[in-house]
Amino acid sequence: MDTTALSDALRPFLSSWLRSDSNRLSFTAFIFFAFFITMVIYYWRMSLGEKPMPKLRRIPGLDALDESIGRATEMGRPIVFVPGMSGFSAPTYAALTIMGYVADQVARYDTRMIVCYRYPEVLAVGSSIVQTSYLEQGKRDAFRADDHRFLSSDQFGYASGVCGILQRERAASQHIFGSMAAEAIILAEVGNVVGAIQIAGQTGSLQQPYLFAACDYTLMVEELYVASAYLSQDRLRIGMLAAQDISKSVLIILIVIGAFLMTFGSNFIDRILTLY
């Protein structure tokens, strides 16, 4: 099929309102976005109704959160929580959602949780999340503001601070979530040395091997983003996840068809993608 003619026919119409550049992917991106937004709206509406939502695959790392909290409670030693190295970004939101879950449990069992922050704005939000958990349990006075510590905005200043806390407070478990960089191995090794049970989950894949080796449970890459839906089992969030999964499936199907067509010598899909 001749895609050049199609592309030429579309150009005058599209160029009046759609931005383009030398990559010629604008139209594809636009269609894909429109599809994604449609899916979001579809599942949003569905979550308001009664229909059953999709079920989620099991994620052992998230199931292990309770075990680590229980152990800290038994030993009477604190949990150290690291909500990632970035400011407000997607991984940090995911980490804060997990922290909300842990905070609920901690407030119920009167376990101590020390949270180390790299950015003051995350501290502001994080401490109010935990405080809310204590309020909901009716333990307003049990909340310890001093356990929410802003260490340093500097990457390794922060890492050395967390190490100091792990050693001085003899942590029973360490939770490392959010986006991590080179300091991941420092935190995980020091955690190992003090004998803490460690659960880690982060979005980058580069630090994953160290965490995989040194921690008891690891969430792999995208599993962190699922945490918000998985732990809350909230219909709306599961719906958003389903919308995302369907869009991803479309992409997978495109890749597979494209590869097969390529085998038979046609780059049709490729030309369709780069229409405008």
Partner 1 sequence: MAGVNVPTAIVDALTPWSTTIGVICLIGVWSMLYKENPFYRACEHAYVGSAAAHTLVTTYANTIKPGIQMNMAQNGDYWEIIPILLGCLIYFQPIRQYNWISRFPMAFWVGYNAGYSLTLRVAMPLFTEARRTMLPFFVITDGRFDLMTSINNIVFTGVVVLVLVYFIFSRNVIQGKGVFLNRWARIAIMICFGAGFGNGVANRVSLLIGRFNYVLSDWLKLY
Partner 2 sequence: MEKKTIWHTMAAVDVRFLYIIIVIAIVIPLLNPIGLPLVFLDEVIDTVALMRSIPPGSLVYFGAECAAENSAELRPPAVAGARLMYELGHRIIIGGFWPDGCILVRQWLTPYFEEMGAVYGEDYVILGYRASVTSILDTARDNFILAFSDRDINGDRLSSMPVMAGLNKASDFAYCFVLSPGGPGTGTYTTAWRATGEVDLIIDVPTGSMYNSAGNNYQSGLTAGLIGGLNGGAQFEQLIGHPGEATRSMDAQSMGHFAIITFLVVGNIGYFQIRRMEEQEKEAIKSGGS
Partner 3 sequence: MRRTVPMVLTFCAGFIMVLDGFFNISFINGFANRYLMRSVTLSVAWAAGIGALNIVRLHVRNITTKRTNYQYSYILLGFFFFMLISGVVLERHTTNPFYQFVYSSFQAQLSAAVFSLSSFYLASSSYRAFRARSLEATLLLVAAVFVISGSVPMGAAIWSGFPTVSQWLMKYINDSTMRAFTIGSTMGTLSQCVRNLVGIERGHLRGSEGG
Strand segments (E) across 97-172:
113-117, 148-150
Residues that bind partner 2 (CB under 8 A): 21-23, 156, 181-182, 205-207
DSSP code at position 52: P
* Binder of partner 3 out of 9, 37, 142, 256 (CB under 8 A): 37
* Binder of partner 1 out of 29, 34, 48, 142 (CB under 8 A): 29
In 3D space, the residue among 182, 211, 208, 180 whose CA is nearest the CA of residue 198 turns out to be 211
- State which of positions 111-140 bind partner 3 (CB under 8 A): 119-121, 123-125, 127-129, 131-132, 135
Which residues lie closer than 8 Å to 118 by C-beta, 6 or more apart? Answer: 84, 85, 86, 87, 150, 151, 152, 153, 155, 158
Cβ–Cβ under 8 Å, residues 158 and 178: no
**Residue 54's binding partner out of partner 1, partner 3, partner 2, none, with CB under 5 to 8 Å set by partner kind:** partner 1
62/246 Cα distance (integer angstroms)? 23
Cβ–Cβ under 8 Å, residues 156 and 167: no
**Residue 259's binding partner out of partner 3, partner 1, partner 2, none, with CB under 5 to 8 Å set by partner kind:** partner 1
Give the interface with partner 1 as residue ranges (CB under 8 A): 19, 21, 23, 25-26, 28-29, 32-33, 54-57, 88-89, 120-121, 124, 128, 151-154, 156-157, 160-161, 163-164, 167-168, 182, 205-206, 208-210, 212, 220-223, 226, 229-230, 238, 241-242, 245-246, 248-249, 251-252, 254-256, 258-263, 265, 267, 269-270, 273-274
